[in-house]
Amino acid sequence: MNRFAALIDALVFMPSRNGKIRLLVEHFATVPDPERGWALAALTGALSFREAKPAAIRELAATRVDPELLALSYDYVGDLAETVALIWPERPERANSLPPSLDEVVEALRAAKRGQVIGLVEGWLDTLDSSGRFALLKLITGALRIGVSARLAKTALAEWGKAARPEVSVDDVEEVWHGLTAPYAELFAWLEGRAEQPATGAGAGFRPMMLSHPLEEEDRAGLDPAAYAAEWKWDGIRVQMVARGGERRLYSRTGDDVSGAFPDIVDHMSFDAVLDGELLVARDGVVAPFNDLQQRLNRKTVTAQMLRDGPAWVRLYDILFDGDEDLRGLSFVERRARLERWYETVRPRRMDLSPLVPFDRWDELVELREGARENGIEGLMLKRRDSAYLAGRPKGPWFKWKRGALTLDTVMMYAQRGHGKRSSYYSDYTFGVWRGEELVPVGKAYSGFTDAELVELDRWVRNHTTRRYGPVREVEAGLVLEVAFDSVHLSNRHKSGLAMRFPRIHRIRWDKPAHEADRLETLAAMVAG
Amino acid sequence: MSAAHQSNQGGANPSRPHPDTWIKVLPEGLFVEPGGFYIDPVRPVERAVVTHGHSDHARPGNRSVLATSGTLAIMRQRMGEGVGGSLQALDYGETLRIGDVTVRMVPAGHVLGSAQVVMEHAGSRVVVSGDYKRRLDRTCAPFEPVPCDVFVTEATFGLPVFRHPPDLGEVCKLLHSMALFPERSHVVGVYALGKCQRLITLLRAAGYDRPIWLHGALEPLCRLYSSLGVELGELRPATVAAKEELKGALVLAPPAAVADRWARRLADPVVAVASGWMRVRQRARQRGVELPLVISDHADWDELCQTLEDVGAPEVWVTHGREEALVHYATGRGIRARALALIGFEDEDSEGMPEKAGEGEAS
């Protein structure tokens, strides 16, 4: 555990991205298999231990520490693993027992039967020091949040691999990634030049997705309309359907396997292809509000009623593989033709094609984009006709052009501490609008402002606090936040009866008196039809 | 003198009024009515008693100030003319009658001159401890627990996640890093009053005898400490002119300066900060600290709890910091405890805020 704990500590305190890559490269180069592989699995979120969920860790800590003090500490620190690592009482006899190795920890957890995990964790916590406890808890709860993304870890792998494999890029690592399992011996062997590249073509692994940039006005001026195709940007979640050699998987944009939650899609994937599309809830071909889809997200399993009430649908954008044939090198136009042909032949149920939107001039599109207020449309996608399907977010071939956001002048009501890097700042704001003489909360936002503005907002919150509830402060009705959001829907989960989609702080109206902020009726009139 | 520990459970006793009838929280600060003075007032008042020289406790413009001679020297140094009207010294162990209150100063162990204000009135003894710590500090007299009826305490680190490790281990971390990266400057963020001088004495005690380089803002108080007999060894100004010599050197600066333009004179510096907040990784990380040093001038959780034990007061008032947790803990120990909700003191972690970092210093 020591090398791993030292790596985690060093990563936490390393402010620069390049410095983090250096630390990771050094770790891969000097730590043997399988320890480095388990470390990589931890950093990329590939390890998960069923019973070591945060709630169980919290319960365990509460057996050693006053639960009230634990709760207050967690509110303050903002990170459960760190809280428990710091608050866990040191045992004087610790010096006599040897802390476990990372390999030992992983193997023991894998072999553990239901009900044994927490006991193991408890024993280890008693033998580790504070850094070791932190690393252990981060490892077993599977959410490191130490400023290293899976992508950064893979970048470091490619960087380290350059010594033996100068041609390797991070996308090559992504490409093979989903066919592999921890502790990745074959991956390290390949990058050290001791073995061939692991196979990618077969198997139901995830292929890195192609992502778009937001279209800025100044970009558009330089673009030739004839070079781009347009299609609607549907308001669901981007998915990749992989059906290869009898295996079927549905992946989110980040490669998370969400098959379990959508049997109504997976059941109909009786083909051999890799497709890119938007997952929606649709009834009789009509797309339902995003809220309906939300009911079905983040679930391991679904009930019959959920399948009935919120039937899933995939609107197809692209085809990556047709059988064994890799189509990603073809142009968008060629892939689109293949997609249409494939769809005609296969006719999969619960899926349709996302139609192209014909246009000649940008102003036609502007009009179409603003006119489309129906459910499910977020805006437009522009795709270069000659662009191959590239992993990652290359600038130029694909743009997303969201419908103009709605905005509303609201009043800040509560502020809450952020988590992680923002744990000392009041960075999450609940805002409300007027109903008669009172404010009713209508949403919460924690983005859309700069770091400098965050410092100002935080100061304002501290100077205008009227009450405190743990990590939350109630503030005077004195600061107008202009909030931007994509749409608003009826909701019985909110006091105001309305729920905003993607609210974010658009502008801070330091100049505007609170009583001039908007009223609830104004928001109600914006509800999507 | 012996009011402490007499039974005070019986509720109202006209001959021995409860201290909350004569000590009040007013907008100016904690007011001791029968003495007509405020303790550490946040706004200018007629008569102030000041526990120590940090700027959130010692503020300018009071008509008269009572403090230890160490604190008065610090206030004069920092405020010059603005320090206030008449200054009166009351040193450790001395007693003074103010109105109907007997006042005594007892060491708080926080920074040079820091004192607990021990007050007796109408048969009760109340101790306002100001900021304090319990571990060894060569720059000031050690905290002395005084048994009392009401103990007024800070709670800056009033959560059980705050356990400051031994100072020597932290200083060794710094020395180890300097041995590991001899070509890099090590710049340590420290508060000008107290932390700076304490870290220097810790380094000297650990055997570090090379010159230590100082940001200009730290020099005056180091001079003052030296003149009051605190041995600091050789100190040099970290001016731009000394750029070459600063390579591989140890440099102390206010926390706000360590990662700011000022630090550009340093060669590829390792950024360290010495503060109790460094115990929380995310906090250190947020400030871009590469080498966090958990060295504090405040009591950690165990010291706070130990102190409540040592003074044995049946009632505790908590002034500032994480009041809630300490109140909860004390209540669980059968102590009547409440938060005073004083405003104007170092708010929770305002010290972590970039714009306050140069100003606030109490950690």
Backbone angles phi, psi at B319, to 5 degrees: -85, -55
**pLDDT (tens digit per residue) in A359-372:** 999 888 888 887 77
Among candidate residues B267, B293, B319, the one where a domain is terminated: B293
Q: Taking CB atoms and an 8 Å cutoff, what residues of chain A touch B332?
A: 66
Judgement on whether residues B157 and B305 belong to the same structural domain of the protein: yes
pLDDT-derived band at B278 (thresholds 50, 70, 90) equals very high
CATH number of the domain within which B180 lies: 3.40.50.12650
CATH number of the domain within which B89 lies: 3.60.15.10
Q: Taking CB atoms and an 8 Å cutoff, what residues of chain B touch A83?
A: 161
Residue B356 DSSP class: G
Of A13, A68, A470, the CB nearest to B284: A13
**Is a pLDDT exceeding 80 seen at residue B260?**
no
pTM for this model (two decimals):
0.66
**Is a pLDDT exceeding 80 seen at residue A298?**
no
Residue B43 DSSP class: S
Question: Which of A49-53, A257-261, B58-62, B264-268 is least confident?
Answer: A49-53
Backbone angles phi, psi at A144, to 5 degrees: -70, -45
Token duo for residue A134: 């932190």
Judgement on whether residues B216 and B349 belong to the same structural domain of the protein: no
Q: What is the pLDDT of residue B356?
A: 29
Question: Which of A103-107, A329-333, A490-494 is least confident?
Answer: A490-494
Question: If you write DSSP's letter for every residue of A205-242 in order, what string do you get?
Answer: PPPPPB--EEPPHHHHHT--GGGEEEEEEESSEEEEEE
Q: Taking CB atoms and an 8 Å cutoff, what residues of chain B touch A73?
A: 159-161, 325
Q: What is the pLDDT of residue A22?
A: 87
Question: If you write DSSP's letter for every residue of A48-61 in order, what string do you get?
Answer: --TT--HHHHHHHH
B12 within a domain of the structure (yes/no): no
More confident residue, A116 or B33: B33
Judgement on whether residues B284 and B305 belong to the same structural domain of the protein: no
**Is a pLDDT exceeding 70 seen at residue B351?**
no
Q: What is the pLDDT of residue A114?
A: 77
Distance CA A420, CA A78 (A): 6
Q: For CATH 3.30.470.30, list the domain ranges present in chain A.
A: 213-402
pLDDT-derived band at A92 (thresholds 50, 70, 90) equals low
* Of the candidates B226, B233, B229, B169, the residue with the CA atom closest to the CA atom of residue B200: B233
> CATH: 3.40.1280.10, 3.40.80.10, 3.30.470.30, 3.40.50.720. Which one for A213-402?
3.30.470.30
| Whether A68 contacts chain B with CB within 8 A | yes
B361 within a domain of the structure (yes/no): no
Domain count across chain B: 2
User: Residues for chain B: how many in total?
Assistant: 363
CB contact burial A271-295 (16+ within 10 A = b; e otherwise)? bebbbbbbbbbbeeeebbbbbbbee
Chain B residue nearest residue A72, CA to CA: B325
Judgement on whether residues B306 and B351 belong to the same structural domain of the protein: yes
pLDDT-derived band at A143 (thresholds 50, 70, 90) equals low
Q: What is the pLDDT of residue B8?
A: 45
Among candidate residues B257, B273, B293, the one where a domain is terminated: B293
Among candidate residues B261, B293, B325, the one where a domain is terminated: B293
If you average pLDDT over each of B78-87, B130-139, B283-292, B337-346, which comes out highest? B130-139
Q: What is the pLDDT of residue B344?
A: 63
Chain A residue nearest residue B329, CA to CA: A69
Q: What is the pLDDT of residue A51?
A: 63
B137 within a domain of the structure (yes/no): yes
B38 within a domain of the structure (yes/no): yes
To the nearest whole angstrom, how far is the Cα of A108 from the nearest Cα of chain B? 28
Judgement on whether residues B109 and B126 belong to the same structural domain of the protein: yes
What is the spatial order of strands in the sheet that B315-321 belongs to?
A: B95-98, B101-107, B115-121, B124-128, B150-155, B315-321, B336-339
- Whether residues A15 and B288 touch (CB distance < 8 A) is answered with yes
Q: What percent of chain A has a predicted confidence (pLDDT) above 90?
A: 49
The answer to whether the beta carbons of residues A160 and A38 sit under 8 Å apart is no
Distance CA B361, CA B12 (A): 41
Chain A residue nearest residue B284, CA to CA: A13
User: What are the residues whose beta carbons fall under 8 Å from the beta carbon of A463, sequence distance 6 or more?
Assistant: none
Instruction: Output helix, strand, coil percentages for chain B, rounded to the nearest 5.
Output: 30, 25, 45
Judgement on whether residues B30 and B115 belong to the same structural domain of the protein: yes
Q: What is the pLDDT of residue A207?
A: 85
Distance CA B151, CA B163 (A): 22
Token duo for residue A331: 């142009």
Q: Taking CB atoms and an 8 Å cutoff, what residues of chain A touch B163?
A: 86
Judgement on whether residues B286 and B301 belong to the same structural domain of the protein: no
Q: What count of CB pairs under 8 Å joins A to B?
A: 85
B4 within a domain of the structure (yes/no): no
**Is a pLDDT exceeding 80 seen at residue A293?**
yes
Q: What is the pLDDT of residue A346?
A: 95
Q: What is the pLDDT of residue B346?
A: 55
The answer to whether the beta carbons of residues A417 and A428 sit under 8 Å apart is yes
Judgement on whether residues B173 and B107 belong to the same structural domain of the protein: no
Q: CA angle B120-B121-B126, nearest 5°?
A: 45
Judgement on whether residues B176 and B321 belong to the same structural domain of the protein: no
| Whether A86 contacts chain B with CB within 8 A | yes
The answer to whether the beta carbons of residues A117 and A68 sit under 8 Å apart is no
Say which residue the tokens 């969400």 belong to: A258
For residue A116, how many other CB atoms are within 10 A of its CB? 13
Q: Taking CB atoms and an 8 Å cutoff, what residues of chain A touch B353?
A: 424-425, 455, 458-459
- Whether residues B329 and A87 touch (CB distance < 8 A) is answered with no
**Is a pLDDT exceeding 60 seen at residue A529?**
no
Q: Tell me what the pLDDT averaged over chain A comes to.
A: 88
**pLDDT (tens digit per residue) in A203-234:** 677 888 899 988 887 788 788 999 999 999 99
**Is a pLDDT exceeding 80 seen at residue B343?**
no
Token duo for residue A467: 């009450």
Question: A406-524, superfamily in CATH?
Answer: Nucleic acid-binding proteins (2.40.50.140)
**pLDDT (tens digit per residue) in B108-158:** 999 999 999 999 999 999 999 999 999 999 999 999 999 999 999 999 999
B11 within a domain of the structure (yes/no): no
More confident residue, B14 or A52: A52
Distance CA B245, CA A263 (A): 69
**Is a pLDDT exceeding 60 seen at residue B190?**
yes
B7 within a domain of the structure (yes/no): no
Q: Taking CB atoms and an 8 Å cutoff, what residues of chain B touch A66?
A: 160, 328-329, 332
Judgement on whether residues B282 and B305 belong to the same structural domain of the protein: no
B112 within a domain of the structure (yes/no): yes
Q: What is the pLDDT of residue B345?
A: 64
| Whether A469 contacts chain B with CB within 8 A | no
**Is a pLDDT exceeding 80 seen at residue B94?**
yes
The answer to whether the beta carbons of residues B316 and B153 sit under 8 Å apart is yes
Distance CA A82, CA A94 (A): 19
Chain A from 374 to 433: CB within 8 A of any B CB? 420-425
Strand ranges, E, within chain B: 23-26, 29-32, 37-39, 47-49, 62-67, 84-89, 95-98, 101-107, 115-121, 124-128, 150-155, 186-189, 212-214, 235-237, 250-253, 270-274, 291-293, 315-321, 336-339
Question: If you write DSSP's letter for every residue of B128-143 in order, what string do you get?
Answer: E--S---S--TTSPPP
| Whether A72 contacts chain B with CB within 8 A | yes
Judgement on whether residues B151 and B222 belong to the same structural domain of the protein: no
Q: What is the pLDDT of residue B10?
A: 43
Question: Which of A50-54, A125-129, B316-320 is least confident?
Answer: A50-54
Structural domain span for residue B214: 167-293
Q: For CATH 2.40.50.140, list the domain ranges present in chain A.
A: 406-524
Average pLDDT, integer, range A291-315: 86
**Is a pLDDT exceeding 60 seen at residue A385?**
yes
More confident residue, B262 or A459: A459
**Is a pLDDT exceeding 60 seen at residue B7?**
no
Q: Taking CB atoms and an 8 Å cutoff, what residues of chain B touch A78?
A: 282
pLDDT-derived band at B357 (thresholds 50, 70, 90) equals very low
Judgement on whether residues B205 and B302 belong to the same structural domain of the protein: no
The answer to whether the beta carbons of residues A261 and A255 sit under 8 Å apart is no
